[in-house]
Structure formats: C-alpha cells, structure tokens
C-alpha cells in the first residue's frame, strides 16, 4: 500500500514538473517574441549601411514610432481598412470618394 502511494506521488510530481517546464517555455517564448523584432538577414544587410550613425534621440524616436506602428497594424481596424481598400465596392472607394484605385500586389 505504501509503495503504491509513493509511486502515485512520484508520478504526480513528475507530471507537475513537466507542466511547469512547458508553461515556463511558453512564457519565455512569448516574452522574447514581444521584445525582439523579426530579422530578415538579407534585407538587414542591405539596409544597415544606409542607416548611418543615428543619434540617441533619433534611435529612441524610431523605436517609439515603430512600436506605435506595430500596435496599429495588430488591430482589427487595420485589417478592415485594408479590406476596404482592396474591395472596389466598399464605401471607401465608392463614387465621389477621393480614393479611386489602389493596387495590391502580393
């Protein structure tokens, strides 16, 4: 009887440890993804020399502007705006609107 209780406790302990490690890995992955933007090495190598040597203020301004753009792009409103621009029958592109034609190439 005592051996069965010990085996059950060991099994539950191992299961809890595995669940905790899985949760920790997921949390770490989410935290790292939020902090670092995705890198495109080929394009980064081409653009990096064009940037020059920005000042600290310019770097800070660029980072904040990029975070605002990332926030705006990750909204449903942005998705709907793109759909309205792509759909020729939307109210945004209707007669009398200033937006006549938008080309989207993938």
CA 83 to chain centre: 20
* Residue 32 pLDDT > 70: no
pTM over 0.75: no
**Pair 84, 92: CB distance under 8 Å:** yes
Integer Cα distance of 75 and 44 in angstroms: 26
Q: Which residue has the higher pLDDT, 103 or 59?
A: 59
Query: What is the gyration radius of the CA atoms in the chain, in angstroms?
Result: 25
Per-residue pLDDT at 93 exceeds 60: yes
Q: What is the DSSP string of 25-66?
A: HHHHHHHHHHHSPPP-HHHHHHHHHHH----HHHHHHHHHHH
Each residue of 47-88: pLDDT tens digit? 888 988 999 999 999 989 988 888 888 888 888 888 888 887
- Rounded-to-integer distance, Cα 90 and Cα 86, Å: 8
What per-residue confidence (pLDDT) applies to 58? 92
pLDDT of residue 44: 87
pLDDT band per the 50, 70, 90 thresholds, residue 29: confident
What does the pLDDT read at residue 104? Answer: 57
Query: What pLDDT score does 60 carry?
Result: 92
């Amino acid at each position: 009887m005592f051996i069965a209780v010990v085996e059950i406790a060991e099994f539950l302990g191992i299961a809890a440890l595995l669940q905790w490690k899985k949760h920790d890995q997921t949390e770490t992955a989410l935290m790292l993804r939020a902090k670092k933007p995705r890198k495109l090495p080929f394009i980064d190598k081409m653009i990096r020399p064009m940037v020059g040597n920005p000042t600290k203020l310019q770097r800070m301004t660029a980072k904040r502007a990029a975070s605002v753009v990332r926030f705006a792009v990750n909204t449903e409103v942005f998705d709907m705006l793109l759909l309205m621009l792509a759909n020729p029958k939307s109210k945004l592109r209707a007669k009398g609107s200033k937006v006549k034609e938008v080309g989207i190439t993938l």
